[in-house]
Amino acid sequence: MKSLQSYLDSNKDRFVQELFELLRIPSVSADSAYSKDVFKTADFVADSLKTAGCDAVEVCQTKGFPIIYGEKLIDPKLPTILVYGHYDVQPADPIELWDAPAFEPIIKKTDLHPEGAIFARGACDDKGQMYMHVKALEFMTSTDQLPCNVKFMIEGEEEVGSDNLAEFVKNNTTKLKNDVILISDTGMIAKDTPSITTGLRGLSYVEVEVTGPNRDLHSGIYGGAVANPINVLAKMIASLHDENNHITIPGFYF
């Protein structure tokens, strides 16, 4: 059985160069000027999954940027892990704060990284983490050590709200069926402290419009009888949590 460390030692230079190639593509989903680059990155991820050993890889078109699906199924009786990640990145602005071009990866030593670390846009959010899982699959398939079924769902719109992800998941429940979802797009407590995030909070965007009188009302005549919209809105916001800081929205905890 070939050890992981020996495999890493033998392929480290190749892994780094492949990651650098991925990091050089400016897959900025928030800027339409980079649309071609985002699609190019999608194809790169798909090819990487094929090379890593996936038996089936699909570039799934959406109303926005593609979602890459890949799978390596070895036994239906074994558990299935679904790996989630994203290949799009945030804009590099402000450019003047970069020591080197944001899409020209370099390895640099710092006080925090005395052994050196890769610096580039997307190196840690989320191309680096996502590619780590791809290379882990490559190791396990090439050495015949894959212990379970593996699926990948890598999207290209995480940095702009994942607008098309929900519809994709809803329409592909059978394809995405799994026992465990693995996400490497969170954080670590510290560089020397391995961290596992077991739960994440989502976001809910709500617009509330409160209307009131179209002119100032005399407080001596109308005060207390006509509600002030500011007070109404303040009460609405305050009512979202109880005295124990629990969210009071019906159905929130389901």
Which helix (H) or strand (E) element contains residue 152?
A: strand 149-155
User: Is 162 in contact with 153 (CB distance < 8 Å)?
Assistant: no
Cβ contacts of 163 within 8 Å, gap of 6 or more: 63, 64, 157
pLDDT computed for residue 129 by the predictor:
94
pLDDT computed for residue 157 by the predictor:
98
What is the CA 209 to chain-centroid distance, rounded?
32
Q: Give the active site residue among 88, 138, 157, 159.
A: 88
- At 154 the three-state DSSP class reads strand
Residue count of the chain: 254
User: Is 37 in contact with 178 (CB distance < 8 Å)?
Assistant: no
Dihedral over Cα of 133, 136, 140, 143: its sign? positive
- At 150 the three-state DSSP class reads strand
pLDDT computed for residue 1 by the predictor:
53
pLDDT computed for residue 147 by the predictor:
96
- At 40 the three-state DSSP class reads helix
pLDDT computed for residue 5 by the predictor:
92
- pLDDT tens figures, 57-84: 999 999 999 999 999 999 999 999 999 9
Q: Is 125 one of the catalytic residues? A: no
HSE-CB at 23 with a 13 A cutoff on CA atoms is: 27
- pLDDT tens figures, 92-116: 999 999 999 999 999 999 998 899 9
- pLDDT tens figures, 45-60: 999 999 999 999 999 9
- What does DSSP say about strands 67-72 and 149-155: parallel, antiparallel, or unpaired? antiparallel
Q: Is 158 one of the catalytic residues? A: yes
User: Is 175 in contact with 68 (CB distance < 8 Å)?
Assistant: no
Digit-by-digit pLDDT tens for the chain (254 residues) are 568 999 999 999 999 999 999 999 999 999 999 999 999 999 999 999 999 999 999 999 999 999 999 999 999 999 999 999 999 999 999 999 999 999 999 999 999 889 999 999 999 999 999 999 999 999 999 999 999 999 999 999 999 999 999 999 999 999 999 999 999 898 888 878 888 888 777 777 889 899 889 888 998 999 888 988 899 999 999 999 999 999 999 988 87
Instruction: State how far the Cα of 46 lies from the Cα of 58, in Å rounded to an integer.
Output: 7
> Which amino acid is present at 188?
M
Q: Give the active site residue among 71, 157, 158, 159.
A: 158
Structural domains in the chain, CATH included, are 4-183 (3.40.630.10), 204-254 (no CATH)
pLDDT computed for residue 105 by the predictor:
97
Instruction: State how far the Cα of 97 lies from the Cα of 119, in Å rounded to an integer.
Output: 13
Instruction: State how far the Cα of 236 lies from the Cα of 230, in Å rounded to an integer.
Output: 10
Alpha helices (H) along the chain: 4-23, 35-52, 127-142, 165-171, 219-222, 229-238
> Which amino acid is present at 104?
E
Q: Which token pair is 23?
A: 């990091």
